[in-house]
Amino acid sequence: MTIPEHSAAHDRATCERLDAEDPLRHFRDEFLLPPDTIYLDGNSLGPRTKGAAERAQEVIEDEWGTGLIRSWNTAGWFDLPAKLGDAVSKVIGGGAGSTVVTDTTSINLFKTASAALKMQAADAPERRVIVTQRENFPSDIYMLEGLAEQLGDGYEVRLVDDEEVTAGFPTTMTAEVALVVLTHVNYRTGRLFDMASTTSAIHAGGAMVIWDLCHSAGALEIDLEGTGADMAVGCTYKFLNGGPGSPAFIWVSATLPDRFAQPLSGWWSHEKPFEMSPSYAPAAGIRRYLTGTQGILSMSVAELGLDIAARADMTAVREKSLALSDLFIDLVEARLSEHPIEIVTPREHTHRGSQVSITHPEGFAIMSALIEAGIIGDYREPAVLRFGLTPLYVGFTDVWDTVEALRDILDNRLWDAPRHKVRGAVT
Ligand SMILES: Cc1ncc(COP(=O)(O)O)c(C=O)c1O
């Protein structure tokens, strides 16, 4: 695929040619998207995988309907968290047998943060500060604050600006810091943080790091093992296309599992859960990151999305993602310049994830009008329109058509209608 340097000079025919040459284009057939829809919200909820309904039917009819309780063994239900974890691990560079799929990102963050603080309490008890991004996804901040409050005894959460993280923590890494929790790609702006150098800076300061990969797993190359990260969590329903509310994942460095003290020590993390012992003993391997019984229907469907991601070449995914976002940014600058739009996603490739976010004072109404036109992105406060550029099913022509639709909506004030100002519970 040869991408001209100045994509603002593209026309629709060029975009069509780029789509025809795209080495990833066959993946689009693995998803079921409604007709006449451009889907740019895979950074929030990935689209339906083609086999999802059939797989759900199979689990309901055969595995549950006929197999009944036997399916925990005969259909491999008991092993699903580790099996799915291996697929995720391929995408995040975690190494074999290091990842399980279970629970939600928020719950997995609580588990990993609690375990990391316990390790630090043993090695460096004076370290009681948890650092995270002020602009982090709010649930991460809430979970960490809840944990610090529960621990009491001087534990506290400190919030830092994204600039401080990008600069390698010039002021943050004092001798009080035990743990740094960072979301790899900012959910609102799409800013990407460098995992290798950031992890090194945190370790040099004597702290541990947990990466939240919700907006990067399946979107770009990740090398958790190679960068020496300590732990990671993330969801499977965005770029990994696992389905609405599909279970999240938890990765722990191969150097740490034996020290991982599970704070939610349910029976699925026990070394012999079916001995029904009244005393708790944690499993030796990754099973100790589990808590209780898993949602098998959701896990079974999620497997299809994880399998697609595990087959995709993440280098090609990243290359196309950057080409799509370059095109989007160039076209917005060239064709929407007379409107009060600001591009909040960094221009530098090294600082950009797989979405482009723009602001406009009427952002909510504009997104509503765009969705009415069959182009689905989403809106985040304050005034941010987010466009997820997911290379497995989004093409260059989709980007062209989106910017043209935006132009029509802005030039003709199509957003300025009462129906575009009505907000639902989820934006
Ligand atoms: C970066 C980030 N962290 C955490 C979460 C929370 O995930 P969950 O609802 O699975 O707990 C989200 C959800 O979108 C997210 O984007």
138 CA to centre of ligand 1 in angstroms = 8
What is the mean predicted confidence (pLDDT) over 268-277? 97
Mean pLDDT of 386-402: 98
Which pLDDT score is estimated for 5? 55
pLDDT tens figures, 342-366: 999 999 999 999 999 999 999 999 9
Q: Which of 104, 144, 214, 427 is the best mutation target for the ligand 1 pocket, counting ligand atoms within 8 Å of the beta carbon and taking the most?
A: 214
The confidence score (pLDDT) of residue 6 equals 58
Domain boundaries in the chain?
7-32+314-421, 54-311
Between CA 274 and CA 282 the distance in angstroms is 13
Give the DSSP per-residue string, 285-351: SGGGG--S---HHHHHHHHHHHHHHHHS-HHHHHHHHHHHHHHHHHHHHHHSTTS--EE-S-SSGGG
Q: Name residue, tokens 């907000």.
A: 423
Residue 388 host element (H or E): strand 384-388
pLDDT at 43: 97
* 7-32+314-421: CATH number: 3.90.1150.10
Read off the pLDDT of residues 323-335 as tens digits, 9 standing for 90 and up.
999 999 999 999 9
Does 54-311 match 7-32+314-421 at the fold level?
no
pLDDT for the residue numbered 9: 65
Q: Are 205 and 168 in contact (CB under 8 A)?
A: no
User: Would you mind telling me the total number of residues written for the chain in this entry?
Assistant: 427
> Does the annotation list 199 as a binding residue?
no
Measuring from atom 8 of ligand 1, which residue has the nearest CA? 105
Pocket test for ligand 1, best of 235, 246, 298 (most atoms within 8 A of CB): 235
Residue 121's nearest CA partner among 142, 158, 148, 98 is 148
Is 106 labeled as ligand-binding? yes
Tell whether the model's pLDDT for residue 221 goes beyond 70. yes
Catalytic residues: 137, 212, 237-238, 386
Q: How far is CA 368 from the centre of its chain?
A: 24
Task: Work out the average pLDDT over 280-294.
Answer: 96
pLDDT at 84 over 80: yes
Would the pLDDT of 289 be above 60?
yes
- Pocket lining: 139 vs ligand 1, CB cutoff 6 Å: yes
Contact between 128 and 177 under an 8 Å Cβ cutoff? The reply is no
391 closest CA partner among 4, 50, 42: 42
Range 54-311 classified under CATH 3.40.640.10? yes
Q: Are strands 177-183 and 208-212 parallel, antiparallel or unpaired?
A: parallel
Give the three-state DSSP class for 100: strand
Report the alpha-carbon distance of residue 254 to residue 364 in Å, rounded.
Answer: 45
The string of DSSP codes covering 4-64 is -S-GGG--HHHHHHHHHH-TTGGGGGGEE--TT-EE--TTTSPPEETTHHHHHHHIIIIII
pLDDT over 70 (residue 2): no
Establish whether 139 is an annotated binding residue: yes
